[in-house]
Structure 1
Amino acid sequence: MEIRKAICVLKGPGSATGTICFKTEEGAHSTCITGEITGLTPGKHGFHVHTYGDISKGCGSAGPHYNPCNETHGAPEDKKRHVGDLGNIEADENGVACVDMVDRLLRLAGKYSIIGRTLVVNEKEDDLGKGGNKESLESGNHGAGVAWGIIGIDEDPK
């Protein structure tokens, strides 16, 4: 069975919660990411897929951004970036971020599948690798996680 739909329920230690859906059309070379996250502070927040599906110690046990090709951190549109680099989402004045994006590197099946990995929303804006320091090239200086969840197969995977 080829997996074409996945889901991630996000929850953190505070009020941030949400649900994000991933969908790949048959034969497509990109993944659609949609959903809503509430309980955020207004403004931009880093948004990334991390390497491990381990949230036993919060998002701290999820490891670094998913980076199977050993690239530096960057923006979703950059030629060189971590597979898990999804840039920023933006919460409105009510703390709600509506997510509607398409990513060219995320996969729900195959060698670089994100199924079983952790999706994290961060407290601060991701500088997209342009902050001029080592941490920027690794994580984007985005601060701690405010919500996270493990990406799983949707009950209707097609």
Structure 2
Amino acid sequence: MNRKQGGLLSLGLLLLAAAGCESKPVAGQAAADAAGSVVRTTIVNTEGKPVGGATFTQEPGGVRVKLEVKGIPQGVHGFHFHEIGKCEGPDFKSAGEHFNPHAKKHGLLSMEGPHAGDMPNLVTGADGTAQVEWLETKVTLAKGKPDSLLKEGGTALVIHEKADDGMTDPAGNAGARIACGPIR
């Protein structure tokens, strides 16, 4: 990688890390309301203990994601939608690979990507907490669509131990899976 590419990568990672900064706490098991437009999940760590939650709300431009976690190591963490709605610890391999219904390459910075499951990095503070809110335009909650988070078997939200570099296929060198929440 040359100096210019390294500078662009650093800028891209900084922008990804800064994305989103508001959220409200969410609790409870994965559940959908009667209209099917809101889904909630509890996020657990590798020991199976709850560390937070997320709410997914269908909006005209995509799915509004609100996430709040605590007890996550301080730093920058990749997190993604994964292809299977199972979160069996301690490694969460049960969640499968990144959600990628359109066979793209990994990474928000990739010219051949991104996966539908690729999202900006999550930044946790010294107290181990993070709150984010954003509109994810690459997915839907509409059942029967190829990019639906509510596909047969569901999907999962997975938090990784390290930052996602935004372009290395297949998972951005984000490391081990440290937390997971099924989306069904």
Q: Which residue of 1 aligns with 2:170?
A: 138
Query: Could you say which structure has the larger radius of gyration?
Result: 2
Cα shift at 1:24:
1.5
Q: Report the Cα distance in structure 2 between the residues aligned to 1:6 and 1:117, rounded to whole angstroms.
A: 12
* Bigger shift: residues 120-129 or 77-86: 77-86
Q: Report the Cα distance in structure 2 between the residues aligned to 1:105 and 1:43, rounded to whole angstroms.
A: 26
1:1-57 Cα offsets, whole Å, 9 max, x none, are 7521111210012577110101113xx021111121111111111110101113345
Q: Which residue of 2 aligns with 1:31?
A: 63
8 A contact 2:61–2:135 mirrored in 1: no
**Gap regions ≥5 residues in structure 1:** 130-135, 153-158
Count of residue pairs brought into register by the alignment: 144
- Sequence identity (%): 31
Change (3 A) 1:77 1:23: farther
Q: Which residue of 2 aligns with 1:100?
A: 133
TM-score (norm 1): 0.82
1:1-158 alignment to 2 at 5 Å? 2-14=35-47, 17-25=51-59, 28-56=60-88, 58-75=91-108, 80-110=113-143, 111=145, 112-115=147-150, 116-129=154-167, 136-152=168-184
Q: Report the Cα distance in structure 2 between the residues aligned to 1:42 and 1:123, rounded to whole angstroms.
A: 10
TM-score (norm 2): 0.71
Q: Which residue of 2 aligns with 1:155?
A: none
Letter in 2 for 1:29: G
Letter in 2 for 1:87: P
Letter in 1 for 2:160: N
Structure 1 runs (4+) deviating above 3 angstroms are: 76-79
Letter in 1 for 2:52: G
Letter in 2 for 1:121: I
Could you say what the CA RMSD is over the residues aligned between the two structures, in angstroms? 2.1
More strand, by proportion: 1
Cα shift at 1:89:
0.8
More helix, by proportion: 2
Change (3 A) 1:102 1:128: same
